[in-house]
Structure 1
Amino acid sequence: MKSVVRFAFAASTLCLAAVAQAASDPVLDAMGAELARSQAAYFKAAMPAYFIAYRINDDEQIGVNAEFGTLTNSSSMHVRSLNVELRTGSYAFDNTHAGASDNQPGNLPGYARGNATARIGLDDDVRAMRAEIWSATDGAYWRTVEELSKARADAAVQTAAEDKSDDFSREGKLELIEPKLDYAIDLDRWREKVKAYSAPFKRDAKIYNARAGLTVARTTRWLANSEGTRVRHAELTYLLDVAAATKAADGMDLPGMVRFVASRPDALPDDATVLAAVEKLMADLKALRDAPVIPAYEGPAILDNRAAGVFFHEVVGHRLEAHRLRDENDAQTFKKKLGERILPESISIAFDPTRAEFAGQALMGGYAADDEGVRARPVAVVQHGVLKNFLLGRTPVDGFAHSNGHGRSQSGFRPVSRQSNMIVDVENPIDYDALKKKLLAEIAEQGKPWGLIIRDLDGGFTETARAGTGGAKLLPTMVYRLYPDGREELVRGVDLVGTPLTLLAELEAGDGRFGVFHGWCGAESGFVPVSTVAPDLLIRRVEVQRKPKSQDRPPILPAPDAEGR
């Protein structure tokens, strides 16, 4: 598995209180009618199904974008997708069971089996929706028949699986109908705003790409399954982003971005705040062009809070997603470490999809029910440095027979266990100045000429498969050398790399200055929105390597200046 997390490009979740069963919903009506017919037929077939779930996602998006003060895009998008999940066999052993054929080219992994996806009509035409659901269900059923036969054949000839848990968990019925969300945006006003936000970049002829844009995204998700669960979940996002890029004299591409996420329009920043962020971004890019490139290095470093958030997400979070503990091709880093210390005693980690915000900032990884129809709940995974729990969807693992509400997916994918809002807590935190003094002490103790402070980044990714490196990589953008005399120097050209157990063993301390990283996390079930709340972090020893470098030279002719010369 290779996972990637980047800055947020859309949906921040707005969790709303559940209300009593709403008036008739044509989408749920269509799903319910076809569920009744499908259960009557496929549950009594020669190779009977035992579980069916229908998911319909309705995604709407409007956006306005400008580059260098000129409007470049004003568009809208509206799509609706259907996902059918069908299982044959039993909760104990079904068509998703891992087997030898998983390693054969072209065969679907367990989490993708019994799955059918389709683009469906936008009109709430119950008859048309039922026809589309019927067709997709029939296709999914015949695939599961073949998959179950292969799974049984594999089980007869292969060695016994290490984890003998059931293939699917039994969960209670859930009825949760959230109100649909309306949004309104003055597009004419925002066309002028994004033009004004992108116009200052014209002053720097060495900034080659610059844009500002507002995206408003509304998603409604429906779920109905054969266990009686009925869910309608609503999400709404207002995303304002400013991004620009320049190039150093040696050809290195230097990107930068600022993003603002809100769940309602009046929570977006005012013009003065955005324009101040634009000016800072321009100053950072200018400074990066002139910054020296540093060589590969190992030594002590501070990761400022947002960078620390990506560190915890990639190095710890993905290795807590429990469905991979059933995958014999996965490294399963933490599988045998339950009850052991994996972090300093002062650090605890919880995932809380029920939390809507932190310090006034909307959190993106929230929801009232997950995509498998299990109610969301907080999960304490690390307490005082000791591993206590994993994130679970409806794929059980040894010692954990039930979901804890973390089955998540992008439209068109089957859910697996995924991260939500990660909250990293530090007991008795020190302040930032004390953390910096500790970094200076580490520099002296290790005899290094300097240490690093990573203040901002573009995201990161990790590999968890045994056949891969098992490592993680963070993609810093703003990195400073800290010299023994306290002087700081901006540098460029490095990525942070390392393997999880080695990196975690080098954690020294965290402070009380928390920040939030918002991103889209990509893994087996597509991209899902996540947030991580983390403090600044001191690591005794990190490794950085040179970034890939473009071979393209800067343009021979500079861009026109602000006066068009």
Structure 2
Amino acid sequence: MIFNLRSGLAAIGLTFITQTLFAQDLLMSTLSKELQREFEQLKKADDRLYYMSYRVDDITTYNIRTSFGAVTGIDSSRYRVFSPSIRLGSYKLDNTHNVGFGQFPGGIPVVDDADIITLAIWKNTDNAYKNAVQAYEQILTNKKVKAAEEDSAADFSPAAKVVYYDPPLRYAALRPDVEKLTKNLVAYSALLKNNPDLLMGIANIEFKIVRKYFTDTDGSSIIENGTSAWQSVYSLTKADDGMELPLFRMYYAYEPSGLPSKDSVLKDVKEMSTKLTALRSAPVADPFVGPAILSGRASGVFFHEIFGHRLEGKRMKSDFDGHTFKNKIGSPVLPAFLSITLDPTVKQVGKTEVNGFYRYDDEGVAAQKVDVVEAGILRSFLMTRTPINGSSGSNGHARTAPGGIPESRQSNLIVKASASETAAQLKELLRTEAKKQGHEYGYYFEDVQGGFTSIGRTMPNAFNVMPVEVYKIFADGRPDQLVRGVDLIGTPLSMFRRIIAADDTMETFNGMCGSSSGWVPVSASSPAIFVDLIETQKKSKSNERLPVLPRPDLDRTAR
């Protein structure tokens, strides 16, 4: 054979790529073969076995961390999380009943050797089966000695067979420009170092490449690729009374190339630094009951926390869940001008890339757009393959962190208003309502860092949205005043009735939601909303003093 040097190198590169692509197909074929073998063998030994599935998350991450202009870490990793699911009994009653057992996650070596992969699958499946047996026997015992449960729906339901393969990943092409990203992050955190009021100035990025594999004994076989780039800039100052005052900026894109430009981020960081200094001397807000405006980002978190979690159907199987909306399908739950959709099939809302996109959920069901509220009327819940009384069949919202057990979880939450005001009109509504209620001011919640809610029966159903940037809007038209130390609190059903109007601009909060099945990527998009009555409380604070010693880089006496 005759070839020149250039064509020979091309052939070598092609061979390497071909081997890499083959290895990705090898994992799927090995999973499918071993699933069939183990199902047949276990079925012979235990005829209660009726369903199995294997799920693998093959994850590659790149992390760069900086602090005050210095690189504190650069690393990358690749690992595989293997999650077998084993169901004993029947669709009506199995080992997952209200407890979620039947899965025993483990690892699979990142190798291209079918024998080694098979050994790892076998060992983890054996552990999962033994765990499932114990759970099922306990459930049968509980059925004999405990009172009947409120929800009598089955534990599992059939789903359509799916075969879908994303093309193999080309990891070399996806590798980020680490040098460029590092220089940018150093510049962002160095800018924070210039502010003597700041105790911390961090700029990080994580780029994650995920190839997800799913196969089950019903014949489904799915491979789905995903990428996500998270860039964060975080800083912290402290007031003289000990209150810690954080601010951050988060940027999300599917790949690092989609993140905002360096100049754009530097502008944001400068504004953040200025606001942190202003927060140090801002007055502490007193507890308050009165009117408020929540920005689009703040209201997105508000709807995610106090509304979205109460639509997660599988939760309602439990007698310990609050069942806020379980019997309210067809009833008004929000003002008639509001509608809410959960849509994992969209990659953008407006021009913003959103974090809750996927094609298939973690039970092998196609992602679906779900109109949960139409013109204020509740229409549906977010469903897995676990039915509840009155609702059956999955709509593609079974989600989990790698290694977890799929639960009903949110995806891309989108709030739409059929009637809207301008931002200026919302402010005027707030001023008018403040005067009406006898208040000197109302609140404007510009940004939040997150929130949480309780939905069980053993404690009051309440929520807490944690703002980081809050302003008093004075009824007499005086300039807005930045304040600190505010938490937005309340109970959900009463709060829903207080939403009066929305503006005409959509904003998106991208984030990670933590719940019983771990952290999953979500987004919440909403217009700003005007609420005629909210409640705030003082934020908890540290009693620690400011550092006794000056920052060494700012200590002139040491030079």
TM-score, length of structure 1 as denominator length: 0.92
2:105 match: secondary structure? strand
Q: Match for 2:494 among 498, 502, 505?
A: 502
**Residues in 2 aligned to 1:24 and 1:336: alpha-carbon distance in whole angstroms:** 46
Indicate the SS of the match to 1:37: helix
1:44 is aligned to: 44
Contact 1:369 1:375 in 2 (8 A): yes
- 1:235 is the counterpart of 2:223: no
* Corresponding residue of 2:325: 334
Secondary structure at the counterpart of residue 25 of structure 1: helix
Question: Contact (CA 8 Å) 1:349, 1:424: kept in 2 or not?
Answer: yes
138, 141, 144: which is aligned to 1:156?
Answer: 144
1:413 aligns to 2:404 (yes or no):
yes
Distance 1:472 1:180, change over 3 A: farther
Query: Is 1:432–2:423 an aligned residue pair?
Result: yes
Distance in 1, matches of 2:188 and 2:168, equals: 32
Q: What SS class does the counterpart of residue 472 from structure 2 fall into?
A: strand
- Select between 60-69 and 405-414 the one with higher mean Cα deviation: 60-69
Task: Give the letter aligned to residue 271 of structure 1.
Answer: K
Q: Which deviations, in whole Å up to 9, do the C-alpha atoms of 1:323-381 show, x marking residues without a partner? A: 11110011111112111111000000011100010122111001011111000110000
The alpha carbon displacement at 1:161 in A equals: 2.1
C-alpha deviation, 1:156, in angstroms: 2.2
> Computing the radius of gyration over CA atoms, which structure comes out larger, 1 or 2?
2
Which secondary structure does the structure 2 equivalent of 1:375 belong to? coil
Q: Which moved more, 1:171-180 or 1:515-524?
A: 171-180
Q: Is the 8 A contact 2:107 2:120 kept in 1?
A: no
Structure 2: how far apart are the matches of 1:523 and 1:190? 32
* 2:500 pairs with 1:512: no
Alpha-carbon offset, residue 521 of structure 1: 0.2
Q: 2:160 aligns with which of 148, 169, 172?
A: 172
Equivalent residue for 2:103, pick from 106, 115, 123: 115
**Further displaced range: 494-503 or 233-242:** 233-242
- Aligned twin of 2:13: none
Is residue 465 from structure 1 mapped to residue 456 from structure 2 by the alignment? Answer: yes
Question: Distance in 2 between the 1:249 and 1:339 partners?
Answer: 53
Displacement of 1:442 in angstroms is 1.2
1:372 aligns with 2:360: no
Mapping for residues 14-413 of structure 1, pairs under 5 Å: 25-98=25-98, 110-111=99-100, 113-181=101-169, 182=171, 183-413=174-404
Kept in 2, the 8 Å contact 1:456–1:479? The answer is yes
Structure 1 counterpart of 2:127, which letter?
G
- CA positional deviation for 1:306: 0.2
Rounded Cα–Cα distance in structure 1 between residues aligned with 2:544 and 2:413: 39
Matched residue, 1:535: 527
1:47 Cα deviation after fit: 4.5
Q: Identify unmatched segments of 5+ residues in structure 1.
A: 1-20, 99-109
Question: What amino acid does structure 2 have at the position aligned with 1:161?
Answer: E
Contact 1:393/1:405 (8 A) holds in 2: yes
Where 2:223 maps in the other structure, the secondary structure is strand
Corresponding position of 2:546: 554
> Which deviates more, 245-254 or 41-50?
41-50
Give the residue type in structure 2 aligned to 1:62: Y
SS in 2 for 1:115: coil
The answer (yes or no) to whether the contact 2:48–2:90 under 8 Å persists in 1 is no
- The 8 Å contact of residues 470 and 499 in structure 1, kept in 2 or not, is answered as yes
1:509 Cα shift?
A: 1.1
Asked if structure 1 preserves the Cα contact closer than 8 Å seen for 2:296 and 2:527, the reply is yes
Q: How many Å apart are 1:22 and its aligned residue?
A: 9.7
- Structure 2: which amino acid aligns with 1:86? I
* Separation (CA, whole Å) in 2 of partners of 1:149 and 1:563: 68
Instruction: Provide the aligned length of Structure 1 versus Structure 2.
Output: 533
Structure 1 residue 477: deviation in Å?
0.5
Distance 1:125 1:94 in 2: 35
- Shift of the 466–432 alpha-carbon distance from structure 1 to 2, 3 Å rule, reads same
Deviation at 1:184, TM superposition (A): 2.4
Share of identical aligned residues, percent? 37
Deviates more, 1:387-396 or 1:154-163: 154-163
* Residue 447 of structure 1, CA deviation: 1.1
How much has 1:563 moved relative to structure 2? 9.2
Structure 1 position 476 matched with structure 2 position 476? no
Q: Is the 8 A contact 2:419 2:502 kept in 1?
A: no
Q: CA deviation at 1:23?
A: 9.8
| Aligned residue number for residue 433 of structure 2 | 442
Aligned-partner SS, 1:395: coil
Residues 206 and 558 of structure 1 are in contact (CA less than 8 Å); yes or no, is this contact kept in structure 2?
Answer: no
Question: Greater RCO between the two (CA within 8 Å, min separation 6)?
Answer: 1
Paired residue type of 2:477? G
Moved more, 45-54 or 32-41: 45-54
More helix by share: 2
Amino acid at match of 1:87: R
Inter-partner Cα distance in structure 1 for 2:449 and 2:285: 18
| Unaligned segments of structure 2, at least 5 residues | 1-20
Where 1:503 maps in the other structure, the secondary structure is helix
Deviations 1:411-449 (A, max 9, x none): 010111100000100002111111111111110111112
**C-alpha separation in 2, matches of 1:236 and 1:140:** 29
Q: Distance in 2 between matches of 1:366 and 1:336?
A: 29
